[in-house]
Amino acid sequence: MNRTHLRYAVDNAPRGELHVFVLDGSASMLGSLAQAKGWLLDSFDRLARARSDVALIRFGGERAEVLFGPAIPRWWNERWIEPIGGGGGTPLAAGIAAASRLLARAERARGRHASQVKVLWLLTDGRTAETPSRPPALDRAVVIDCEPARLGLGVASLVAPRGCERLARAWDAECIRLDEIAPRVQAYFRCQDSLD
């Protein structure tokens, strides 16, 4: 066998999904950040096995930044997710704007990945007055409510809508509490696995 027997083929097979995770790294998230990062690691591991593309955007202080992707996550995720810290304000609009730009770039590249489904996962406690518009290039949005359960705050805590619930309604998105997420997300990934 020699060099003339080898063929190069461009991989034009569409990738199934792009999951964009937008993580609130503000000071109000400090109590929930470790649990959110643990869930991110688990999700990245599952999505790596499914060969799905992921991206991670962190917003906090006065800015938002893309920390990873879009790409298929690899085995070293813990090394770069673990040091993500929190502090400062909640620039939700900046985080969603960064996600919108990333999704728009992915949409322009859709010629290569025409059937790619785009899912946005927003992990936040909802403590912000901002209500940015839902990114237009999404197929599905899920708001993960990281606000700790409000116990002993009276009837008002049962009636007043939480920030995450308001945002989910505005986006026509699903809202899941972080402390309830494991069984529901595992069911989501099992469902996706059975479709493959």
CA distance 122 to 23: 6
Domain spans of the chain? 55-147+162-196
Amino acid type, 47 = L
What's the average pLDDT block by block, 10 residues per block, for the chain (196 residues)? 63 71 91 87 88 92 89 76 82 95 83 76 91 90 85 46 87 90 56 48
Task: Identify the pLDDT of residue 193.
Answer: 47
139-149 exposure pattern, b = at least 16 Cβ within 10 A, e = fewer: eebbbbbbbee
Tell me if 64 sits within 8 A of 84, measured CB to CB: no
Q: For the CA atoms of the chain, what is the radius of gyration?
A: 18
Task: Identify the pLDDT of residue 22.
Answer: 96
Amino acid type, 6 = L
